[in-house]
Amino acid sequence: MFQSRAFSGLLTDLYELTMAAGYVQNHFDPRATFELFVRQLPRHRNYLVAAGLDQALDLLENVHFTSEEVSYVRDLPVFHQVGSEFFDYLSRFHFAGDVWALPEGTIFFPGEPLLRVTAPIADAQLVETSLLSIMHLQTLIASKAARVTGAADDRPVIEFGSRRAHGVEASVLAARAAFIAGCTGTSNVYAGHHFGIPVYGTQAHSWVMAHEDEAEAFSSFLDVFPEQATLLVDTYDVRAAIDKIIARGRIPSGVRLDSGDVLADSFWARQRLDEVGWRDVQIFVSGDLDENRIEALLRSGAPIDAFGVGTALSTSADAPSLSVIYKLVEVELDQRIRGTAKFSADKQTYPGRKQVFRLRDAKGAYSGDIIGVEDELFPSAELLLIPVMRNGRRLEPAKQDPAACVREAQARFLANRAHLPEHILGTAPTDPPYSVSHSARLKLLSEEARQSLLRAAHL
Amino acid sequence: MFQSRAFSGLLTDLYELTMAAGYVQNHFDPRATFELFVRQLPRHRNYLVAAGLDQALDLLENVHFTSEEVSYVRDLPVFHQVGSEFFDYLSRFHFAGDVWALPEGTIFFPGEPLLRVTAPIADAQLVETSLLSIMHLQTLIASKAARVTGAADDRPVIEFGSRRAHGVEASVLAARAAFIAGCTGTSNVYAGHHFGIPVYGTQAHSWVMAHEDEAEAFSSFLDVFPEQATLLVDTYDVRAAIDKIIARGRIPSGVRLDSGDVLADSFWARQRLDEVGWRDVQIFVSGDLDENRIEALLRSGAPIDAFGVGTALSTSADAPSLSVIYKLVEVELDQRIRGTAKFSADKQTYPGRKQVFRLRDAKGAYSGDIIGVEDELFPSAELLLIPVMRNGRRLEPAKQDPAACVREAQARFLANRAHLPEHILGTAPTDPPYSVSHSARLKLLSEEARQSLLRAAHL
């Protein structure tokens, strides 16, 4: 959500409310810790990029239930036998817990907590669904954008996917996440305004079609934008369109190819433009691009100056979801801390509050991560999780400027990427993958939790 | 967007603004008609389901630019040479056009307009991006949900995908779209409240893990929800969990299997529950389900009473986007109407205002559609596009109750589905596909537009 104060407590799954009711009515109120992480990499992926934290903290600072919303909950059939204590709890509810997180723009791997929430168990449970949905969207898109910007090999990539992002909120937040992972800008004006992201775009096919004559369409656009016109040349015939522009003699800032054989047309266009001395006229390519198509075009030497990438980026088309989960890892009962985990056959998790320790080789490149217990020490390792919220308040004295926050995240991503081993950076899946191990202490804690469950089961 | 009055005019691509500026500064202001349609079916799909119209009309009724937003636009480098007329236009902007649309819940096919917008060309252009993004999301999810609910063959399907929908807005609107296409309910409480959709859900793995003993976790939940508890039995070991519940003797309303071999476990669970006379205890299955998995389970005779479907549904995982486009089809100039179309090699469109005519066979089943010119007549055909907005105001005297609107859309979908030929309804792609043809008059209009373009090109 890009509008603070709009966070309704109802933006959650019903079972978060029933469980919270269970905890409140049973007077079971230990502090609990949940960790949000990605279970596994999508196919063909080598790494992930953390994004969405600023919006997640907005949620935690603002989520509440109006009295009308509490009435709605009270009237649901499932709550008919639940006493008033729970509804009083909802009316008073605000999030007052502690949060640790990976800063936005951090490159990370499956199993590594993106976010760790410690709060009274009902509170921490209530915010699960929204936290997942918020962190998932931007982490998903940033992880995709990293591949696209990597494939473009320092050529600018503009995020063009608003129309097919999953709704208007997703379109704005996809633009934000794409910028964090190296995009140069977006077509989304709201994202430009709200997050200070550079915005790009000039004309669509409809502009050309609205005029009876294509050459006239180009001229009338240049009348209004004499120095800022990237003309779209594929409405009818790319080469005829470029010839018409040249014949009229007014130099646009660029031409855009959006369909057809863009490889052949880009070569033809560059040569034709150079012939008339229009060497500064840029060739901009868009239309069903993704990281693989961009790599193939550049491998063929296509003289393309910049790319516009839409649907594939704004929906993460090859992997439209990540296996993000929010798992209970610890319950604090009577001064006793109990690590919790799930041990079903196909979905094991690890107990206890964790930290991610990142190691470097002699040249400074990342050489591997260790997922360990929160207070472990690994000399010279970087600690990736940092405290970001205490008692429901951000640790930054005030909320940061949204634009500064996004720029800082992009800088962090670019610095992270510069330290990632070459073989992890490619668009093809790498074998062996980046090394992520669990510390001996974490494994021991896990085995203890398992034994303790087995004992309980046989009581 | 599920909150009216929140529609910023900036929720658009920059090129909509530059084109609008071009039209305003050049005093080019004909009425124009744009049609929104899907170019082609995703792989494996046979039909689509229209959804999102109510939110699209909300946008059109409420979209505007604040003075602060106009200042932001004015300060963008691309607009530095643009005169004040355009910024005055933005300040005054509200949508005052006419709209025809397919009612929500209508089954439709590629090339058939979902929405037809007629307005001064700059106005119709400005709203393109948001209209696409709004119509795309719900049409995408409804089209997927239709497959899932079809596969479940009259067993209830609950939409469970909020956590991995693309953001909190998408989670609410995915719940709405899924309900329209036959889901029984959703886990999303906000969608329940706002759209009157039944909500479902009781407990997660964290509830079980928070208690030291699994049997104790079940009992304490039953204490609070004695008549509404569906107990989650796969945290550690499904069969041991069911035995624990039986041993304690309190009858839950259901058990939920969320991982592991749900086929074998569902047979085992049904038999075990029946043995102790708990025939009314329902078996609810969730966890990485989609239409194919549901079909396979039911084909194997799995005794499953209801399904919860998450990520695959809320992201339309096999096809996370539709090729929706918004194309200029007509410009009204000096009493002369000019049909417009795109004739590039791979992306042809048809000119002129269209209507979709649906034909039935002798038994009442849909036998095919004709995409024709707006005022054509095909005896006994149903006209699918209806007027929904005139001069920027809905034709319904007042905005309908959101819950009534959604129920009506679901009823329309179910009625439409009942008339669809059997072979189109399956989850496998059908050959031949549903018959959709273009009328002779539309083809003629298209050829005239092409000839007229060719003439203009050779002037």
**Which residue range is the domain that position A209 belongs to?**
201-285
CB contact under 8 A, B321 and A344: no
Of B314, B338, B364, the last residue of a domain is B314
- The C-alpha angle B121, B124, B127, rounded to 5 degrees, equals 145
Residue B261 sits in a domain whose CATH number is: 3.20.20.70
Evaluate whether residue A167 is within a structural domain. no
Q: Which residue of B has its CA nearest to A244?
A: B457
The full 3-state SS of B366-381, as one line of letters, equals: EEEEEEEECCCCCCCC
Same domain, residue pair A280 and A328: no
pLDDT, tens digit (0-9, with 9 covering 90-100), for B1-10: 445 456 999 9
Q: Which of B130, B315, B343 sits opposite A168 (nearest CB)?
A: B130
The number of beta carbons lying within 10 Å of the beta carbon of residue A298 is: 16
Contact B369, B435 (CB under 8 A): yes
CB contact under 8 A, B321 and A133: no
Same domain, residue pair A232 and A114: no
Same domain, residue pair B59 and B164: no
Q: How far apart are CA A408 and CA A414, in angstroms?
A: 10
Residues 6+ away with beta carbon under 8 Å from A304 = A155, A262, A266, A283, A284, A285, A297, A298
Same domain, residue pair B206 and B260: yes
ipTM strictly over 0.90? yes
Q: Which residue of A has its CA nearest to B169?
A: A169
Q: Say what the pLDDT of residue B1 is.
A: 41
Same domain, residue pair A260 and A331: no
Question: Which residues of chain B fall below pLDDT 50?
Answer: 1-2, 4
Rg over alpha carbons for chain B, rounded to the nearest Å, is 26
Question: Which residues of chain A fall below pLDDT 70?
Answer: 1-6, 344-347, 397-399, 457-459
Closest CA to A36 of A101, A98, A94, A91: A101
Q: Which residues of A touch B71 (CB under 8 A)?
A: none
Q: How far apart are CA A167 and CA B346, in angstroms?
A: 27
Q: Say what the pLDDT of residue A399 is.
A: 65
Q: Say what the pLDDT of residue A400 is.
A: 75
Output the six-digit token pair for B246: 């039986």
**What are B369's strand-pairing partners?**
B358, B436
The number of beta carbons lying within 10 Å of the beta carbon of residue A397 is: 7
Evaluate whether residue B220 is within a structural domain. yes
Same domain, residue pair A375 and A327: yes
Same domain, residue pair B309 and B334: no
Residue type (1 letter), B65: F
Residue A54 sits in a domain whose CATH number is: 3.20.140.10
Evaluate whether residue B3 is within a structural domain. no
Mutate to test the interface with A, among B25, B79, B139, B164 (most CBs of A within 10 A): B164
Q: Say what the pLDDT of residue B195 is.
A: 97
Evaluate whether residue A72 is within a structural domain. yes
Same domain, residue pair B166 and B281: yes
Of B314, B337, B355, the last residue of a domain is B314
Which residues of chain A from 171 to 210 reach within 8 Å of chain B, CB to CB?
171-174, 187-190, 192-193, 199-207, 209-210
Mutate to test the interface with B, among A34, A54, A189 (most CBs of B within 10 A): A189
A84 part of contact set with chain B, CB < 8 Å: no
Q: Find the length of chain A.
A: 459
Contact A237, B344 (CB under 8 A): yes
Q: Which residues of A touch B132 (CB under 8 A)?
A: 163-164
Cis-peptide into B421, omega within 30 deg: no
Work out whether the CA dihedral B400, B145, A138, B73 comes out positive or negative: negative
Q: Find where tokens 């209970």 sit.
A: A328
B7 Cα distance to chain centroid: 19
Alpha helical stretches, state H, B321-421: 402-418
CB contact under 8 A, B10 and A189: yes
pLDDT, tens digit (0-9, with 9 covering 90-100), for B253-304: 999 999 999 999 999 999 999 999 999 999 999 999 999 999 999 999 999 9
Same domain, residue pair B187 and B41: no
Same domain, residue pair A355 and A249: no
Evaluate whether residue A445 is within a structural domain. yes
Q: How far are the Cα atoms of A257, A286, B306 from residue A266, in angstroms, in the given order?
A: 8, 12, 54
Write the DSSP string, A386-453: EEEEETTEESSSSPPPHHHHHHHHHHHHHHHHHTS-HHHHSSS--SS---EEE-HHHHHHHHHHHHHH
Q: Which residues of A touch B234 (CB under 8 A)?
A: 344
Q: How far apart are CA B170 and CA B193, in angstroms?
A: 16
Same domain, residue pair B137 and B149: no
Same domain, residue pair B417 and B296: no
Q: Say what the pLDDT of residue A459 is.
A: 52
Evaluate whether residue B249 is within a structural domain. yes
Number of domains in chain B: 2
Of B283, B314, B345, the last residue of a domain is B314
Q: What are the phi and psi torsion angles at A381 (to 5°)?
A: -75, 145
Work out whether the CA dihedral B184, B190, B193, B194 comes out positive or negative: negative
Q: Say what the pLDDT of residue A334 is.
A: 79
A251 Cα distance to chain centroid: 38
Q: Say what the pLDDT of residue A84 is.
A: 96
Q: Say what the pLDDT of residue A59 is.
A: 95
Q: Which residues of A touch B128 (CB under 8 A)?
A: 163, 204, 206
DSSP B8: B
Evaluate whether residue A172 is within a structural domain. no
Q: How far are the Cα atoms of A344, A346, B246, B276 from residue B239, in angstroms, in the given order?
A: 12, 15, 11, 14
Evaluate whether residue A89 is within a structural domain. yes
Q: Say what the pLDDT of residue A343 is.
A: 75
Q: How far apart are CA B94 and CA B424, in angstroms?
A: 41
Q: Which of A22, A207, A223 sits opposite B224 (nearest CB)?
A: A22
Cis-peptide into B432, omega within 30 deg: yes
Output the six-digit token pair for B111: 């090339």
Q: Say what the pLDDT of residue A397 is.
A: 58
Residue type (1 letter), A124: A
